[in-house]
Structure 1
């Protein structure tokens, strides 16, 4: 039973592989009439450009041809592309798809479709570009700080193809003219930093000949081992981008210790990396660049016409095997990358952006955070990627979460700087969700506060505390009434002085009646408060009663003062008699009012 299950699983795996990568046959009627290859070893990546003139010697038209990558480099292939060059700038790109050939297992094969069927006897020239990462190895593997770096490249001196090749030449461009050794398969010619092999004539299909080149190469062997690109989309006009990098110098490792003194004194360390440049969108704003310590202040940001140039200078020069970690972030306006028609939206951005010239990224993860409420999401990429499982991201004011689209890819180079698309549906009314949530939250907060301050959450009532609070409120009212009565005493005195001055009896009587009415009202209020204090059995009731008694005495003195003022105006008493009596009345009033103040202070 277990054996049957294993056979079924093995058969399923084989079927998956068969249906994932197609299988083609090689048409022997196609012939490589002329091949011109250029192998670029000037940087840390290997670029092989092949200009292949293909002739159909058969009797029927052909739709495609097979391009092969030999087993020596097949595992290092990062990118392959084909096109038909034109006299103008509009080169025609051809469709390239990985395929298999029966009986050939080690090499990789790609099916390149002609722009139209290649008729019998017709010729066409196709330019194929291949890029290989980590295809050179340092030799020696370790060097000192002052030594130069040498690289060893192993490839095929012949054009590896499933077709007959009539004539071919290969030109190898090196970083410098210092070439330690190279394969001398004749005819071969060297000139400064280039080596030309061929022409070789009439080579059979799948011809192989080892080509080994050992030369100086001090170009920056900088490799991004891991990269995370985070894109957060907002429908309020902004797209936030943050990229995190783990970087390693993949050249010859440093032998011995590092001396910064010697490094600055002799300017040695040709293979080290002091600085590199990253290109950002021209509309990038609020750019930041930091490492584990903080802001990388030694770096510079320059604003150019069509881009932003960020010159990154690590805190220390990078030698072989050394690593660093940093991240950059910026904001860009959404109108340049986000398009919509009604509720249908399309986000069009680069899957990977420029990190440095001739970049190599071993592994990259793209994470796109869409607005909350986005649905019917579809990711369209310019090349094959590994789709991760969609998830949700939660931040302020989110309810169901924001959709997160994840994708990853290994071995990326500059040629992979292409646009991806995310299509989704987003109802416009969802833009109001967060403002409404804020308004609702504040409304509920105010309602809760209002209810809270009006409810009694005590388990049982404290009678003594409540009685004390009632008495305190009554005392406060008593003090207020007494203060207003004291003000009326002054009003009486002002009315008498005015009467003595203008001798207007009618005006004096009118003013006095008004003051008497106000005084009567305040006295009634005081009587009411006195009754309430007595009901509470408070000691303050005695003090309030004493205030009432003092008020009666003050009132009597005021009436007496009024009578003497009338006699003075009528001429019934002399001025000296009035002054003596007035002084006596004022002295008594002052004493009574002082007693009232002392009582108020004692509450």
Structure 2
């Protein structure tokens, strides 16, 4: 066997191994979408280079002829090698690698790459497509119902939607669901933007709910919303002119797959169409509807541009910037405030504005006078204001499932005009904040409804969590958002600041009104942090005031002030003394009444002597106080002496009453005279007590 035959056999064997490697890669069933052409190309390139090197080495050995050849130049595809000869080497000058071998290798590589790249999804075909293009608002909406059939031999898990090159930059939303009877089929399918090609457009890869096996069909409903895709034509209009717009699109459904049959239905806001493309046939117009098709056997990536020039006087409102603050309080409230910059994105006003014409004719077709905002049904304390203050022309209407706010700016909005306002409200936290122990979950809308067919060019959402919240995790809605670094927000009684989760999103539409979740940890004991910051300083302040009130900061000695304080202190003791005195007399009365009942004179005498001794002690204390106060106040001393005289009178009355009671018990005195004497003595006691109370109350 010659060397050249051996080379062919070895090269064929290497290509066979390369084919085996390619088949192994393409038959991986776990995640086939993760394999790209890069891995396949590298595998084949390694085998190809191995084959070329074997050919070179074998031909160098076989053509061993001349010893004085300086160098050998070998020509191979995409490679030029200069091989220096040795002094004893004999190399054929006419050495060449067989062209048939090179062509065969390159052809096999090209066919393998093409085969691998397209074998999965190019077997799909769109059997039927119904495309509805809604041009009623300033946001063109496409609703595409496409029936897909797998005519290959392998299962497919993904379907690629292509956005046309001219609409790559204005696609704001792409969504897809499976059309079916079950409610589970209506769940949104995961979509990921794979790449953007200037010639083919943007690729959105839709993940099917399950593998689409060979011969099976599935019907998807794809929703596409375009932003800033309409062109004002003309760009400027007067106050009384109607607004005309121009929109260009494809008559066909732009797809990487061939389509068996399809049609496009265009819905206009009115039946006034200035012009529209009437090819490719058939094209039919009926009032507000223009139908293109049906078309059959449309090739992949087929394009046929159509233009639609029509009247559209609907509200061309665009929010250039919205800042949404969501402040969470664990005391039962969530405060929401939105700062909105909004402008009219329609045809600009030509000339000056006439308020008289606006109010008289009421024919400003494109002007926006009012629009409605929908808030959650539990929203309360709604406020709407601008730089000047509260805007009283707004109206709030509470409905069963929402709170509707009619926003009426201070002036109508024409093309290019803009305004700025702040809208805020409160909602109860129990509807959006859930917890299990110290673990909390906040689930709210990322944005609210601002107006119908809304377009928010730039939205910044800041969620202010309670102070000392930690382990914060943010779970975005099912679309791409930008998570910015966390911030700190300081308000009343904050010490370390409240953590703020910052989210940014461009081109926010009505379809983006979906819930986000924030998980975080918060110790419930920290709820009392701010109340204690109020209570502790106030308590300390009161204690300080109490202490300071009892301190004397006078530099000079104030004799009169000290005298008053001593007198006041003595009278406080006199009051306590009088209270004791009254209690002793009450005990004497109780003992006397008990004696009348049990007639035990011995027990009565013992109790009386004991109480009289205690009364003497009280009287001695009163005498001591009189001595102390005499130097400071003669008047107070006389009052104390009066109290002593009254006490002596009451003691005499008590003795007389005791004597009458003994006579009654021993039978020496009748009951009726006794009662008369007792009543007389009791009245005297009451008079004495009244005089004592009057004297004490003077001080």
Q: What band does the TM-score fall into relative to the shorter chain?
A: 0.7 to 0.9
Which residue number corresponds to residue 204 of structure 2? 110
Alpha carbons of structure 1 residues 30 and 106: separation in structure 2 relative to 1, 3 Å: closer
Return the offset for 1:431. Answer: 1.5
Q: How many residues align?
A: 470
Return the offset for 1:446. Answer: 2.5
Query: Whose relative contact order is higher, 1 or 2, with alpha carbons under 8 Å and at least 6 apart?
Result: 1
Return the offset for 1:370. Answer: 0.7
Which residue number corresponds to residue 368 of structure 2? 273
Q: So what's the TM-score if we normalise by structure 2?
A: 0.63
| Distance across 1 between alignment mates of 2:565 and 2:527 | 55
| Distance across 2 between alignment mates of 1:526 and 1:349 | 76
Return the offset for 1:451. Answer: 4.9
Which residue number corresponds to residue 153 of structure 1? 247
Partner of 1:271, secondary structure, is coil
Return the offset for 1:186. Answer: 2.7
Return the offset for 1:114. Answer: 1.5
Q: Is the 8 A contact 2:174 2:225 kept in 1?
A: yes
Between Structure 1 and Structure 2, the one with more strand by share is: 1
Return the offset for 1:366. Answer: 0.5
Alpha carbons of structure 1 residues 475 and 362: separation in structure 2 relative to 1, 3 Å: closer
Return the offset for 1:106. Answer: 5.5
Within the candidate set 483, 489, 505, 1:393 is matched to 489
Return the offset for 1:128. Answer: 0.4
| Distance across 1 between alignment mates of 2:513 and 2:434 | 20
Q: Is the 8 A contact 2:150 2:213 kept in 1?
A: yes
| Distance across 2 between alignment mates of 1:23 and 1:217 | 46
Which residue number corresponds to residue 201 of structure 1? 296
Alpha carbons of structure 1 residues 269 and 83: separation in structure 2 relative to 1, 3 Å: same
Partner of 1:398, secondary structure, is coil
- Cα RMSD for the two superposed structures: 2.9
Q: Is the 8 A contact 2:165 2:198 kept in 1?
A: no
Q: Is the 8 A contact 1:85 1:92 kept in 2?
A: no
Alpha carbons of structure 1 residues 412 and 523: separation in structure 2 relative to 1, 3 Å: closer
Superposed CA deviations along residues 567-588 of structure 1, whole A, max 9, x for unmatched, are xxxxxxxxxxxxxxxxxxxxxx
Partner of 1:228, secondary structure, is strand
Q: Is the 8 A contact 1:22 1:99 kept in 2?
A: no
Superposed CA deviations along residues 61-112 of structure 1, whole A, max 9, x for unmatched, are 11111100011111011111001122355524221111137x7666110111
Which consecutive aligned stretches of 4+ in structure 1 deviate over 6 angstroms post-superposition? Answer: 21-24, 475-478, 520-527
Return the offset for 1:435. Answer: 2.1
Superposed CA deviations along residues 281-316 of structure 1, whole A, max 9, x for unmatched, are 111111111111111111110111111111111111
Q: Is the 8 A contact 1:74 1:108 kept in 2?
A: yes
| Distance across 2 between alignment mates of 1:294 and 1:182 | 47
Between Structure 1 and Structure 2, the one with more helix by share is: 2
Matches within 5 A, 1:273-292: 273-292=368-387
Q: Is the 8 A contact 2:251 2:280 kept in 1?
A: no
Within the candidate set 496, 499, 518, 1:422 is matched to 518
Return the offset for 1:447. Answer: 3.5
Return the offset for 1:453. Answer: 5.1
| Distance across 2 between alignment mates of 1:23 and 1:248 | 45
Superposed CA deviations along residues 220-243 of structure 1, whole A, max 9, x for unmatched, are 000011001111111111111111
Matches within 5 A, 1:122-161: 122-161=216-255
Question: Unmatched 5+ residue regions in structure 1?
Answer: 1-20, 482-516, 531-543, 552-603
Superposed CA deviations along residues 321-357 of structure 1, whole A, max 9, x for unmatched, are 0001111111111111111111111100000111111
Which residue number corresponds to residue 390 of structure 2? 295
Alpha carbons of structure 1 residues 417 and 521: separation in structure 2 relative to 1, 3 Å: closer
Which residue number corresponds to residue 171 of structure 1? 265
| Distance across 1 between alignment mates of 2:460 and 2:541 | 42
Question: Unmatched 5+ residue regions in structure 2?
Answer: 1-33, 38-116, 571-619, 639-699
Alpha carbons of structure 1 residues 452 and 34: separation in structure 2 relative to 1, 3 Å: same
Which residue number corresponds to residue 507 of structure 1? none
Return the offset for 1:117. Answer: 0.9
Which residue number corresponds to residue 470 of structure 1? 559
Which residue number corresponds to residue 432 of structure 1? 528
